[in-house]
Amino acid sequence: MSELLRLTGVSRRFSGLQALRDVNLSVARGEVLGLIGPNGAGKTTLVNTICGVTPANSGTILFDGSDITRTKPYQAARRGLSRTFQIVQPFAEFSALDNVAAAALFSQPGTSLKTAREAAREHLAFVGLEPQADQPAATLTLAMRKRLELAKALAMRPKLLFLDEVNAGLNSAEVERATALIHQLAKDGITIVMIEHLMKVVLNVCTRIVVLHNGHPIADGPPREVISNPAVVEAYLGQQYAKRSAGHG
């Protein structure tokens, strides 16, 4: 498999807080990489840093053979980096269709509105939202807004797709449905990096796992190997099991 993304020594600070510390990470084409770790570990920051939202203070990021370390978010999007947001924020008054069409127009300037809407309809059909195409985004349920978020990301024709907790807040039937979509995208050859707290989903979908702890990767490898790594159990999985047995998540 050839390499699509490489981070070398990437760090990011927020005033006093070291959110990412010397991150080295490589993602190969066709992989479905699970990015896991405790709350505040820096997972979302890592995606924001790669996408140019919160640029790295040091280190380099190579994507598809180009240095994108200082790339602005819209440039990153046009190069084929696309992501869903942990907190979904559609244009509330726009229809579901136009939210997706807007993403297509944004990432592919010069596209006509008609073409963008046609593409948007296909992406909505893929995520099962065609019946809601003309509804204002504000009227959709959380599960539907999460799928809308996925359709928007796909409309940007990603080479690399980041999924930030697409299953958070969903019930088990909704999680299963979203998982099936992710499987399909992986089969279609889209490289995926998914941030996910549900270990069942991670183990079901991911070909590899990276664990982030205090802004630094502490494990990287095949899923079964990583989840039995004592350092990972100590830093993250122990808490997950404790939370679950206490009835949360």
Ligand X SMILES: Nc1ncnc2c1ncn2[C@@H]1O[C@H](COP(=O)(O)OP(=O)(O)OP(=O)(O)O)[C@@H](O)[C@H]1O
Residues that bind ligand X in the complex, under the rule CB under 6 A: 14, 17, 19, 37, 39-45, 54, 86
Give me the helix-helix angle, 113-126 and 96-107, nearest 10°: 120
Judged by beta carbon distances under 5 to 8 A according to partner kind, the member of Mg ion, ligand X, none in contact with residue 123 is: none
Bridge partners of 37, per DSSP, are none
What would you measure as the largest C-alpha separation in the chain, in angstroms? 54
Which amino acid appears at position 158 of this protein?
P
Shortest approach of ligand X to residue 165 CB, angstroms?
A: 7
Q: What are the phi and psi torsion angles at 66 (to 5°)?
A: -115, 150
Whichever of 37 and 52 has its CB closer to ligand X, that residue is 37
Whichever of 86 and 111 has its CB closer to ligand X, that residue is 86
Tokens of 184: 């399909």
Which ranges in the chain belong to alpha helices (H)?
A: 43-50, 73-79, 96-107, 113-126, 142-155, 172-187, 199-205, 223-227, 230-232, 238-245
Judged by beta carbon distances under 5 to 8 A according to partner kind, the member of Mg ion, ligand X, none in contact with residue 45 is: ligand X
Give me the helix-helix angle, 113-126 and 142-155, nearest 10°: 130
Pairing of strands 58-63, 3-14: antiparallel
Whichever of 101 and 162 has its CB closer to ligand X, that residue is 162
Whichever of 34 and 120 has its CB closer to ligand X, that residue is 34
**Shortest-Cβ-distance residue relative to Mg ion:** 44
DSSP 234: I
Whichever of 98 and 165 has its CB closer to ligand X, that residue is 165
Shortest approach of ligand X to residue 158 CB, angstroms?
A: 20
Shortest approach of ligand X to residue 17 CB, angstroms?
A: 6
DSSP 164-181: ESTTTT--HHHHHHHHHH
Nearest Cα to Cα of residue 8 among 29, 26, 20: 26
Judged by beta carbon distances under 5 to 8 A according to partner kind, the member of ligand X, Mg ion, none in contact with residue 42 is: ligand X
Judged by beta carbon distances under 5 to 8 A according to partner kind, the member of Mg ion, ligand X, none in contact with residue 14 is: ligand X
Whichever of 57 and 115 has its CB closer to ligand X, that residue is 57
Shortest approach of Mg ion to residue 121 CB, angstroms?
A: 31
Size of the site for Mg ion (CB under 5 A): 3
Judged by beta carbon distances under 5 to 8 A according to partner kind, the member of ligand X, Mg ion, none in contact with residue 17 is: ligand X
Judged by beta carbon distances under 5 to 8 A according to partner kind, the member of ligand X, Mg ion, none in contact with residue 39 is: ligand X
Among 25, 33, 41, 44, binds Mg ion (CB under 5 A): 44
What is the number of other CB atoms lying within 10 angstroms of the CB of residue 128? 16
List of residues contacting Mg ion (CB under 5 A) = 43-44, 86
